[in-house]
Amino acid sequence: MKKILVVGAGSAIAEATARLFAQRGDALFLVGRKADVLESMCADLRVRGASAVGMHVMDANDFNGHEAMLNDAEGSLGGLDTVLIAHGTLSDQKACESSVELTLRELNTNGVSVVALLTRVAARFEQRKAGTIVVISSVAGDRGRQSNYVYGSAKALVTAFTSGLRQRLYASGVTVVTIKPGFVDTPMTAAFPKGALWAKPQQIANGIVGAVDRSSATVLYLPAFWQLIMLIIRSIPEAIFRKLKL
Amino acid sequence: MTVPTFSSWAFTSWGNVIRKPHEIAPLPSRHAAFPAVPSQTSVLPYGNGRSYGDSCLNVGAALIPTRALDRFIALDAASGIVTCEAGILLDEMFRVIMPAGWFVPVTPGTRFVTLGGAIANDVHGKNHHAVGTIGRHLVRFELLRSDGQRLICSPTQNPDWFSATIGGLGLTGVITWAQLQLRPIAGPHMSVETIRFANLDEFLQLQSESDRDFEYTVAWVDCLGTGSQLGRGWLERANHSTAPTPVQHAQSRGLNVPFAPPFSLVNAASLRLFNTLYYHRPRARHSDRWFESFFYPLDSIGNWNRLYGPRGLYQYQCVIPDAAGREGTAALLEAIARSGQGSFLAVLKAFGALESPGMLSFPRKGITLALDFPNRGQSLERLFVELDAIVRATGGRLYPAKDGRMPPELFREGFPRWREFTQFIDPRCSSSFWRRVMDGA
């Protein structure tokens, strides 16, 4: 039985993943902004088989609240061995372009707050020489594109930070997994027309649970074909890329 | 938080005849307010789109998709009462309730329906003669109205809203969650007997013998049989197996039809071949079957509706009241056999006398016949008109969940409580089906 902290529990990917853990009898601690959502998730996960469920209402941008939340999680679960960081917002790129304030807020939510959390979690796990940290980044972080480079650059921060953290913690036996989902059909993307590239949150969740079980300290594109797509996108020369409407 | 509406082509019904865009008004959680849409736009809750015709569609207006409401709220493992959000699929429910020793009291022929959809169509199953429709097993549910009211409905609390919403086709508001009394099972297997019958009389005889000792009965009938072979087929009768075996759900769903072929694979030649072979194939009388293969044979082929080609399919499901049961059913089968149209799976079942609380509930004591037809336009409609006349003459009715074309008068004659029902319709709710059957009323 694992003791799992889920930050951004209300996201579709996090909820699908939490359900898979619950079905196996793992213990879960949920963190999110909305108390009513967390409460209904707790009840749901209990029915699905979670051995214990706890919750903590927090805005990830409240950096000063992170330490208290981690203490609450460890106290509630009686320890902690797995952390899934899944919170985020899909930035409105157009609105960001005319608002410094919004741009900085999006960077905080999707990038800086993740770094702040990771720094605290890493310190705890490194000391114990055990633990698994799974972070949801995005294919959008692989290369900035005009359609969503604010979100993309926040995710690039997460990708680079987790890459370095993975190296640092490898010696301590702490596993850091960077998940890069492609297009996922969630409430966040409800308004987009869906094609063959779109995955269901359940598919991403299966990949995440598999990575936790294998303890594979790595970068994981989900679904896997995104690795190839992003390889191509990254290798387009800048002289061509700058003209593309991506 | 206000969730913006958007337009989508992704919402169709199972028959695939109507492919039109809908405005989408999301309902992100069961706690969320009734979605705001422009005042001239009507809305309709949309579950998993397994209704066949236009009862789950609202062309030219908006849908409220409910699949996101898929959380459990509570499961009382001792009493077998499950409480969950209305967008959960029966299939998802099974993965939790079956290992705990429970099964739904009533299931339709696919497990990919939402609980809310099952209530809104007051679904019946192969055990209708034993337990009635799903509406009889509901403890309570919450109805969210467009004026923001949340009505808890049960047989004793807001009983008129309870009655209007069961079988109410989503028109009374959004069912956000429901509480259902489950039935205990020893394990996931079914103990099944399969018996061939040579004609309609033999079917009726077998059916009445079987109803006493078997919770589930259903028959497949060769829709091309005529004369002395009219109404020949196979009867399946079953009870839940008493052998306690662990529940092991398969990970994948198996076969899938990835896209619609350019024409219907269900045609006169394939139909005759299938029906003849199926009738004559030897089958063991007794078998022990995994519940999915007994209840949901078609679910094993994902998107089987695509086999009917790009023009889609119609299902015709009617009930002939008991008094006219034999003659009415014979007349229907004769007309269908004469037309040469029909489906691989024509289903015959005797409904019992247990009444549903639902105002517009479809089942009543009598015989129900259900067939799928490839959409052939006018020639199919001619057959339907012929079948309508038979149904009408017997005082029978058609199942709105399956219908995409019945004349308004047939609906209003078949469901005489429609006028009483209209006072419970939410002022913001409408559907393509409802506008169609209310035409001229």
CATH of domain B189-407: 3.40.462
CB contact under 8 A, A44 and B71: yes
pLDDT for res A24: 95
**pLDDT at residue B252 tops 70:** no
Q: Is A51 exposed, middle or buried, given 0-12, 13-18 or 19+ CB atoms closer than 10 A?
A: middle
Contact A189/B at CB under 8 A: no
Contact B302/A at CB under 8 A: no
Place of tokens 């993307």: A189
- Which residue out of A15, A44, A186, A203 would a mutagenesis test of the B interface target, given it has the greatest number of B Cβ atoms within 10 Å? A44
> Quick one: average pLDDT of B219-238?
92
pLDDT for res B253: 58
Q: Which of A149, A151, A170, A221 is catalytic?
A: A151
**pLDDT at residue B407 tops 60:** yes
Q: Is the dihedral of CA B88, B90, B91, B94 positive or negative?
A: positive
pLDDT tens column, A108-155: 999 999 999 999 999 999 999 999 999 999 999 999 999 999 999 999
Antiparallel, parallel or unpaired: β B255-256 and B216-221? unpaired
E strands, B200-294, in order? 216-221, 233-240, 255-256, 286-290
- Measured in degrees and rounded to the nearest 5, phi and psi for residue B103 equal -140, 160
For B13-69, the DSSP string reads: -TT------EEE----STTSPPPP--TT--EEEE-S---SSSTT--TTSEEEE-TT-
CB contact under 8 A, A40 and B75: no
pLDDT for res B2: 46
In the structure, what pLDDT confidence band is assigned to residue B65 with cuts at 50, 70 and 90? Answer: very high
Q: Where are the domains of chain B?
A: 72-185, 189-407
> Quick one: average pLDDT of A229-238?
95
What is the domain range of residue A143?
Answer: 3-241
In this prediction, what percent of chain B has a pLDDT beyond 90? Answer: 79
pLDDT-wise least confident of B85-89, B137-141, B373-377, B398-402: B373-377
Give the tokens for residue A191: 């308004």
pLDDT tens column, B329-344: 999 999 999 988 877 7
Q: What is the CATH number of the domain that holds A135?
A: 3.40.50.720
Q: What is the pTM of this model?
A: 0.93
In the structure, what pLDDT confidence band is assigned to residue B275 with cuts at 50, 70 and 90? Answer: confident
What residue of B is the nearest CA neighbor of A42? B73
Q: Which of A182, A218, A219 is nearest to A203 (CA)?
A: A182
> Quick one: average pLDDT of B209-238?
93
Q: Which of A23, A36, A43 sits opposite B73 (nearest CB)?
A: A43
Contact B31/A at CB under 8 A: yes
For B247-266, the DSSP string reads: ----SS--EE--S--SS-S-
Q: Which of B103, B119, B50, B126 is nearest to B295 (CA)?
A: B126
Contact B253/A at CB under 8 A: no
pLDDT for res B283: 85
Helix (H, G, I), strand (E, B) or coil at B369: strand
CB contact under 8 A, A37 and B30: no
Q: Which of residues B92 and B263 earns the better pLDDT score?
A: B92
State the average pLDDT for chain A: 95
Size of interface A-B (CB pairs under 8 A): 40
pLDDT tens column, A86-113: 999 988 999 999 999 999 999 999 999 9
Number of domains in chain A: 1
Is A30 contained in some domain? Answer: yes
pLDDT tens column, B283-326: 889 999 999 999 998 888 889 999 899 999 999 999 999 999 99
- Percent helix / strand / coil, chain A, rounded to 5: 55, 15, 30
pLDDT for res B251: 56
Is A246 contained in some domain? Answer: no
Residue B7: CB atoms within 10 A of its CB come to 11
> Quick one: average pLDDT of A177-187?
90
Place of tokens 């066949």: B52
Contact A25/B at CB under 8 A: no
Choosing among 3.30.70.980, 3.10.50.30, 3.30.465.10, 3.40.50.720, the CATH entry for B72-185 is 3.30.465.10
> Quick one: average pLDDT of A172-192?
87
In this prediction, what percent of chain B has a pLDDT beyond 70? Answer: 98
pLDDT tens column, A19-71: 999 999 999 999 999 999 999 999 999 999 999 999 999 999 999 999 999 99
pLDDT for res B1: 39
pLDDT for res A31: 98
* A149 classed as catalytic: no
Q: Which of B4, B10, B72 sits opposite A43 (nearest CB)?
A: B72
**pLDDT at residue B110 tops 70:** yes
